[in-house]
Amino acid sequence: MFRNRRTAAAIGAVALAGALLSAGPAQADGASPAPAASAKSAPKGDGAKAICKRLPKTEARISAALTRLNGDATVAGSVARLEQRVAEAKSAGHTEIHTYLNGRLAFRKSLVPTLQQRQTDLKAVSTWCAAQGSK
């Protein structure tokens, strides 16, 4: 259809510029979004039904993550394994690697109490869902 890529690119650029220029005045007419658009995006509830539906999978994912994080040095993704890597980087004199891995270790250690709290919270949610007949 087009003889070369430059011609096709030039035609595409002209079409894009025309589309942008024609859309400009339409956008300038209204400064705020249409009420129908904002009404569609507003939540209609707290999502309790969906949370109860996903509860078993969520509990399983958190449990698996905690098992992995609390594993020994042979478990990939565990705090102990990353601590071992940090120690090895330090003993090898790899300062930059040590700093990088130490930052990852600090984050990974912070995940454990966060996930434990979520696990506790999910027990209460599970009780609530069972009382509602949603589980």
Query: Each residue of 40-98: pLDDT tens digit?
Result: 677 678 888 999 999 999 999 999 999 999 999 999 999 999 999 999 999 999 999 99
53 with 104, same domain? yes
Distances (CA, A) of 98 to 22, 36, 103, 110: 55, 54, 9, 18
36 with 79, same domain? no
pLDDT band at 101 (very low <50, low <70, confident <90, very high): very high
pLDDT at 133: 79
Q: Is pLDDT above 70 for 123?
A: yes
DSSP 133: T
52 with 88, same domain? yes
Residue 23, domain extent: 5-41
How many domains, in total, are found in the chain? Answer: 2
Q: Which residue has the tokens 């930052």?
A: 103
91 with 61, same domain? yes
Q: For the chain, state the CA radius of gyration.
A: 27
18 with 52, same domain? no
Nearest-angstrom CA–CA distance, 3 and 25:
35
24 with 81, same domain? no
86 with 117, same domain? yes
36 with 100, same domain? no
Tokens standing for 27? 């956008």
Tokens standing for 114? 């966060």
111 with 82, same domain? yes
33 with 52, same domain? no
67 with 98, same domain? yes
Closest CA to 76 of 120, 30, 108: 108
